[in-house]
A and B are shown apart, each in its own frame.
Chain A
Amino acid sequence: MKLRYCLSGHPTLPCNVLKFKSTTIMLDCGLDMTSTLNFLPMPLVQSPRLSKLPGWVLKDGSTFLDKELKECSGHVFVDSVPEFCLPETELLDLSTVDVILISNYHCMMALPYITEYTGFTGTVYATEPTVQIGRLLMEELVNSIERVPKAQSASMWKNKEVQRLLPAPLKDAVEVSMWRKCYTMPEVNAALSKIQLVGYSQKIELFGAVQVTPLSSGYALGSSNWIIQSHYEKVSYVSGSSLLTTHPQPMDQASLKNSDVLILTGLTQIPTANPDGMVGEFCSNLAMTVRNGGNVLVPCYPSGVIYDLLECLYQYIDSAGLSNVPFYFISPVANSSLEFSQIFAEWLCHNKQTKVYLPEPPFPHAELIQTNKLKHYPSIHGDFSNDFKQPCVVFTGHPSLRFGDVVHFMELWGKSSLNTVIFTEPDFSYLDALAPYQPLAMKCVYCPIDTRLNFIQVSKLLKEVQPLHVVCPEQYTQPPPTQSHRTDLMIDCQPPPMSYRRAEVLTLPYKRRYEKIEIMPEVTTWYVMMLPRRLLNMIQKLGRSDHL
């Protein structure tokens, strides 16, 4: 019997717990950061507009919330350090979790909350690129929040009675009591020190009862799917996989075959957009803006799709006549991210590996840096302000537009219609992200690039690997709410998938009939047939003696 606890309702930032053969295994611990959209942006440079916002007043005129909530561009935002929505911590005692398996660096952002606050004493398993890049993402997050000291933290509005009176979307925000402030760097280091590095196809024995194996999932550097198996049961955990040829090693599909249960999470968040088309649109919009003398802002994470975008631009800029336009990559971890991307040869696709064998750097951004076309800076302060030339293209975080250097550029460039902001990360609704900056003169282009599996690829994959049962988030079992007629945008398989939602416990159906034991080689040489005769001799001897 296998039990499955679902601790996160976000289909691409999962957090599940599997109880399997008396081992408690947590699968990913994603952090839902969409909660930050309810907060005001944190400007790096004092912004007169944001600091003079009126407090929010209830309909009956009471003003007790005006310190915590501010009205901005017709919406109400919480004026406080942004907070994140944690995975469920009450559903089961998290100190009983034996191991945590991480599938990719986006799905480990809640790790410090789990390892440092719940009494967790187990081991975390992840690949080396996942850990290194995950560390960079966390470092950037902590850095961009700690850089702006904001004394205030708001809590009054979270009171259930108060929350009811608030306008949407605050009124409908779920689990606000679970929202937490960002962790600190010491907590990140402590959490990461609990990770044990693993390689693809490495068989890891857990207490001699269960074997877990990471497989390449093709989505990001070091991203993995996991096989959790005993001798007779096999659970496949598929999370954030891609069949497109980008920079990572291709997905290992064959090893997923013959699963009793396949848990499917992390499909594309934009099933209607074709990543290749989006990249083309990204390039042409970028070129057009720059040619007209405008600047381009690309809110992004410091690793992942940015490598592919830089590679596309590397091939594109000369033909588009952009060779004199500076590209800036601003992040506290920009340099590390660019350097790290070059040293994970073993985790790259075949083409990039072949380049390393030459030996040449696998990513062409090395050349962009060498020729001074791409420059990177830890922040807008310091060297950047001296080198800064317009028009230019800026890659910076955070994609939520609530913190990080991106806030500064939104304030700086938002008023001019020459400039463009291009959204490529699919994690946040771009309209919600832009809400506190309205009205904007700047052009906004939405080119979400999500390389994860779409529904056509999923049904092909399921046909290929033939699992007995499929388990997936409930969102995947119905068409998206905004496109209810698109019945092709849901998982279609036989038997129908079992679905789950946040805070639900599921019993997985499969039952085993056999178990593996080992017979000691001595047994084959025991005189089994001698037994009755020896027994008789013994009894006869007893009868003759005076033992009794």
Chain B
Amino acid sequence: MPEIKVTPLGAGQDVGRSCILVSIAGKNVMLDCGMHMGYNDDRRFPDFSYITQNGRLTDFLDCVIISHFHLDHCGALPYFSEMVGYDGPIYMTHPTKAICPILLEDYRKITVDKKGETNFFTSQMIKDCMKKVVAVHLHQTVQVDEELEIKAYYAGHVLGAAMFQIKVGCESVAYTGDYNMTPDRHLGAAWIDKCRPDLLITESTYATTIRDSKRCRERDFLKKVHETVERGGKVLIPVFALGRAQELCILLETFWERMNLKAPIYFSTGLTEKANHYYKLFITWTNQKIRKTFVQRNMFEFKHIKAFDRAFADNPGPMVVFATPGMLHAGQSLQIFRKWAGNEKNMVIMPGYCVQGTVGHKILSGQRKLEMEGRQILEVKMQVEYMSFSAHADAKGIMQLIRQAEPRNVLLVHGEAKKMEFLKQKIEQEFHVNCYMPANGETTTIFTNPSIPVDISLGLLKRETAIGLLPDAKKPKLMHGTLIMKDNSFRLVSPEQALKELGLAEHQLRFTCRVHIQDPRKEHETVLRVYNHLKGQVFPFFFYPPRNGLELIILR
């Protein structure tokens, strides 16, 4: 029986290092190629030796698909393609292709230049890697080879985030990457058509959360920022340069404008200005409202938000600083955090998910004494707030997407095992489909039952559809014909044509048996009654009025 095999090399019952291998109808596809923020050793990259021990990866993979530019989805790409070695196609959307190399370079700088690691990928490797990237449009059907095709859908997680459908013949897999089902201030909602894939691989970051209305969350956020600023405190918001940062900037910008506030808002690193440029040029990927009004006012030209200088951190008085990276695991956000952590007037707001092992995760789980580099202990007195602004679908959103796509099986990745377990039960109950949640390195096999495409000669089709009622396009219909399997193709033709084509003589078989029936009626009446009786009872599909040499009954 045909089967689809899925093995997560990362993101199996875990968040971070997304990398999922899919084998479908003899094709091997790798979905995402991410790094893990929680590790600094070998575990940060997926274990590609799983794919092959000594051969080249190009021989084993037909293509690689990157869903969006976050490093936990693309951070291992240069390592994978240049250091391990892969020359096949890598697919991503245009904005992802534009932004991905910048984040990779940033990541490389932090790792190599700041932490002094060696044996890491170089700038040149990032460039060479990006040369292998093929950019795709939304909804464009990309023919990877004769049989394998992929198609991107809008995912609404960050600029350029996409879901992908992978299709070979009648079999298909849909992979969501990270997605968001509710439109926000700058992005639209994820959308997929009723593509009925054999398997839907969905993220499940917020598998158990049903988030309250976005408006409440926003009001809450603004209130907390406002209060802190009012009492002269400093607010640190660790973010990734692209994504939630822009969302929160728009939120604060409009609030500052409305309330006429004067406290400065800063955005760290030169990356940001560049980042906003990308949003301006890829405005077609944002939500409808921004797209409609961009000629009059571009939402990504901020009036109140200025560039941050390192020296500003020591300035007295209130301020709001957006600093990268988002999980407080390195870089500027961590530096500022160390400076401000000791003052209870200050506040840090974590607007997104934090991977285990990061400082962000530690303070969110209540830890107030942190061991920093060099055995130094940092006491956290500032207020720590968590506000979920990550653009992931919550449990309701995940269910909604499943309803939209109508998959035959569901597989959960990019979430925590305990939460997945809960969601898995819910999905199985509500949709009556199998739901899987493999751990890293564990293979899930799904059996598919694809229909068999056949060419039918037009003559036969017309003859067969002429019998009986008009065919209903959606319902199966019985047809008689001869199936010829030749050169890997199936053709259904009339028996006469088949005989002619194959140069065979026609033979007739007759099955007879003698049955005695006691019936006082006339012969033809009896025949009719036997026929009608059989017609009603047996083989509704196979039973036709006597024809094609099937002499029904001979009476004596």
Contacts and interface: CB of A to CB of B under 8 A. Distances in A.
Question: Do A and B come from the same complex?
Answer: yes
Interface of A: 128, 198-203, 208, 213, 231, 335-336, 339-340, 342-346, 353, 356-357, 359-362, 512-521, 524, 531-532, 534-536, 538-540, 542-543, 547-548
B515 interface: yes
A346 B135 contact: yes
A346 B94 contact: yes
Contact of A198 (B139, B277, B534): B139
Given A199-B139, A547-B533, A548-B533, A516 B281 contact: no
Contacts of B274: 359
Contacts of A201: 137, 140-142
23 contacts: A199-B138, A202-B139, A202-B140, A202-B151, A335-B295, A343-B282, A345-B282, A513-B458, A514-B456, A517-B492, A519-B453, A534-B539, A535-B539, A536-B513, A539-B513, A539-B534, A540-B515, A542-B515, A542-B534, A543-B516, A543-B517, A548-B517, A548-B530
Given A517-B454, A519-B451, A542-B530, 7 more contacts: A200-B137, A201-B137, A202-B140, A353-B135, A514-B455, A520-B476, A535-B538
Nearest to B449: A521
A361 B491 CA distance: 54
B511 A344 contact: no
B526 interface: yes
Given A201-B137, A519-B451, A548-B533, A531 B542 contact: yes
B122 to A, nearest CB: 20
Contact of B283 (A343, A353, A516, A519): A343
A261 B170 CA distance: 28
Given A345-B94, A359-B278, A518 B453 contact: yes
A336 B296 CA distance: 9
Nearest to B543: A535
Contacts of A335: 295
A359 B281 contact: yes
A202 B141 contact: yes
Nearest to A209: B473
Contact of A208 (B280, B473, B511, B553): B473
Query: DSSP majority for the A interface?
Result: mixed
B497 to A, nearest CB: 11
Contacts of B138: 199
Nearest to B553: A539
A200 B140 contact: yes
Given A356-B281, A548-B526, A517 B456 contact: yes
B335 interface: no
Q: 10 tightest A-B contacts by CB?
A: A543-B515, A518-B451, A199-B137, A359-B277, A357-B98, A202-B139, A519-B452, A201-B140, A514-B455, A532-B511
Given A199-B138, A346-B94, A548-B519, A515 B284 contact: no
Contact of B455 (A336, A353, A515, A539): A515
Nearest to A333: B295
B281 A342 contact: yes
A526 to B, nearest CB: 9
Interface of B: 94, 97-98, 135, 137-142, 151, 170, 274, 277-278, 280-284, 294-295, 449-458, 461, 473, 476, 479, 490-492, 511, 513, 515-517, 519, 526, 529-530, 533-534, 537-539, 542, 553
B382 to A, nearest CB: 35
Contacts of A543: 515-517
A199 B140 contact: yes
Given A534-B538, A538-B534, A548-B519, A336 B452 contact: no
A8 B132 CA distance: 45
A342 to B, nearest CB: 7
Contacts of A360: 277
B187 to A, nearest CB: 16
Contact of A521 (B282, B450, B490): B450
Given A201-B141, A539-B513, A540-B513, A128 B284 contact: yes
Given A198-B139, A359-B98, A542-B533, A520 B451 contact: yes
A518 B139 contact: no
Contacts of A532: 511
Contacts of A517: 453-454, 456, 461, 479, 492
A412 B97 CA distance: 51
B137 A516 contact: no
Nearest to A518: B451
A346 B282 CA distance: 9
Nearest to A201: B140
A344 B491 CA distance: 45
B457 to A, nearest CB: 6
B458 A521 contact: no
Contacts of B151: 202
B443 to A, nearest CB: 24
A418 B1 CA distance: 82
Most A Cβ at <10 Å: residue of B137, B454, B476: B137
Contacts of B542: 531
